[in-house]
Structure 1
Amino acid sequence: MSEKKTKVAIIGSGNIGTDLMIKVMRHSQHLEMGAMVGIDPDSDGLARAKRMKVPTTHEGVDGLMAMDNFDEIEIVFDATSAKAHVANDAKLRPLGKRMIDLTPAAIGPFLVPAVNIDEHIDEPNVNMVTCGGQATIPIVAAVSRVVPVEYAEIVASIASKSAGPGTRANIDEFTETTSHAIVKVGKAKRGKAIIILNPAEPPLIMRDTVFCLVSAPDESVHEQIRASIEKMVGDVAAYVPGYRLKQKVQISEIPADQPVETLLAEGETDRPTHQVSVFLEVEGAAHYLPAYAGNLDIMTSAGVQVAERIAQKKETAR
């Protein structure tokens, strides 16, 4: 007899929520869909959910709470907006629902599976940072495991077509949340995040660039940094198969006339010696949008990874 799966609900029937639903239904070992929740009765996500025999409501969280199977749902993914998540969390967490936040609200601790899943797996609400954060923070963490990172800057470039209304509404929160997570999870002393919505046709695959300023004059340390990054890329690719290095890791000496002091954290006076440059590509699995939408794939894959671990831990404890 097969193990009973953990029922999940998804709030938000846009691009991220729909891709997440398809991943749960096609590939999850420990999860099953309990509900798809939206606010637009004509949304494509709700229509797809109905065709796939998933219970739906277009009345938001209140509609979810009124559903006959609400008590059976244990984990709730929120793929709405940062502002909406605050209200959704206030209603659902007191009722014992585990919240996986795919918005930049950051009510709960930041969670990047390849870096710190074991630290926060028991938290009632975890924040999945942002698509750019999921792609780049593992690299910052990989560098910081070898040598202190004085400053880390990430640039996430995604196809404009892969950014729905929810993503666009969260742009300001994206930069702020990702910058905080670069410091909190990546362990950089200061972080900065930039996102680019690229309107190119045909749409381009998600690209991410990571720059880290470090003090590493020794060539042997450079090799350790490269090895740490390559291992981390493999760790992320284990749950996001389209995640890869676009070219070899570059480590270059910082010219004496480059004013990097302006980038350092307040109170830092030691000038870094080298810049580590990492160029990534994230190809989507094309579960919902085409393969260019790696930003969807890395976010939803990370969310499913967390929910799977929660459900697996619960099953082990039985």
Structure 2
Amino acid sequence: MKSKSSRTRVAILGSGSIGLDLMFKVKASEQFDLKFVVGRNANSDGLRLARSCNVETSSDGLDFLKAHEDAYDLVFDATSAAAHKVNNRFFSDAGKFVIDLTPAKVGRLCVPCINLDDMGAEQNVNLITCGGQASLPLAYALKQAVDEIDYLEVVSAIASRSAGIATRENIDEYMTTTEYALAKFSGAKKTKAILNINPAEPGVRMQTTLYAYARYRDFDRVRASVADMVEKVREYVPGYRLVVEPLESQGRITIGLTVRGRGDYLPEYAGNLDIINCAALAVASHRHATARLGATQ
């Protein structure tokens, strides 16, 4: 087991479902020393659970992290898009590395299987949206295999119980940020993102379907590019898999995927939350390894 002095000191801002699942993931890793879980409501279930796991907590939000800025190196911000824009003013001034799990689009957009190695010098890394983390690997794989994408549409369906207050408050930002990222990573001329929140019980597993009108010369190349990308995602999201292999009909390409969560804290059907947390952990692990390498040189 690594000594605490060799670990990256971590604070989690936000004590909802994403923050709590991150707490369990961070605590299970020998790379990190979880210092704080910070929220806004002292009586919240999230902060009570964190305290029961022997994690120091506070309901003073950003003010607490300002008062203890020397006690942590990395922050996971699991608040909201609007809150993150305020929070990052302090984190930037304080030189803190931030992994943003909101659709605020303040920092560099990151999908680990696409551009993780480019994140080394960034102060703020944005993980786009859960639908983005699911669909962007496939959108990027398409880009590598076709001549041009005229239109790209992504439809994500998630269980109502996996859509917390922050998710519902961020719907507009979810759409605009996902569509922006789809265009950026795929080069598509036009993009559209749709989020369906399914109230069915028991909760349904996250599923995302990608539709594209693209010009290509070899559809086998499309299949191979997508299959290769799925394996890259599965390196950090084991529950990621295709349910509809690439299909072509009347010029439209269809690909379907599902994400089964790891079940660290969230139920397995909440793959939408698990995939963005797995991406966050991949970014944090990369930064930890980069920092340790720099310290030995």
| TM-score under structure 2 length normalisation | 0.95
Task: Tell me the matched-pair count.
Answer: 292
Q: Give 1:95's aligned residue.
A: 94
Q: State the distance in 2 between where 1:121 and 1:103 align.
A: 20
* 8 Å Cα contact 1:154/1:192 also seen in 2: yes
Q: Can you give the 5+ residue segments of structure 1 that lack an aligned partner in the other structure?
A: 255-273
Same amino acid, percent of matched pairs: 43
Amino acid at match of 2:243: K
Q: State the distance in 1 between where 2:46 and 2:277 align.
A: 15
Q: State the distance in 1 between where 2:195 and 2:30 align.
A: 33
* 8 Å Cα contact 1:204/1:292 also seen in 2: yes
RMSD: 1.2
Task: Say which SS state the counterpart of residue 35 (structure 1) adopts.
Answer: strand
Deviation at 1:95?
Answer: 0.5
Q: Give 1:25's aligned residue.
A: 27
Give the 5 Å matches for 1:1-318: 2=2, 4-26=6-28, 28-67=29-68, 70-147=69-146, 148-216=148-216, 218=217, 221-252=218-249, 254=250, 274-318=251-295
Q: Deviations over 1:207-233 (max 9, x none)?
A: 0001111112x4xx1001001001111
Q: State the distance in 2 between where 1:90 and 1:5 align.
A: 26
Q: State the distance in 2 between where 1:50 and 1:186 align.
A: 43
Q: Can you give the 5+ residue segments of structure 2 that lack an aligned partner in the other structure?
A: none
Amino acid at match of 1:122: A
Q: State the distance in 2 between where 1:25 and 1:241 align.
A: 19
Amino acid at match of 2:19: G
Task: Say which SS state the counterpart of residue 55 (structure 2) adopts.
Answer: coil
Deviation at 1:247?
Answer: 2.6
* 8 Å Cα contact 2:110/2:128 also seen in 1: yes
Amino acid at match of 2:65: L
Amino acid at match of 1:307: A
Deviates more, 1:159-168 or 1:186-195: 186-195
Deviation at 1:117?
Answer: 1.2
Deviation at 1:183?
Answer: 0.9
Q: State the distance in 1 between where 2:98 and 2:150 align.
A: 33
Deviation at 1:29?
Answer: 3.7
| TM-score under structure 1 length normalisation | 0.89
Q: State the distance in 1 between where 2:93 and 2:186 align.
A: 31
Q: State the distance in 2 between where 1:229 and 1:107 align.
A: 29
Q: Deviations over 1:222-254 (max 9, x none)?
A: 0010010011111111101110001322122x3
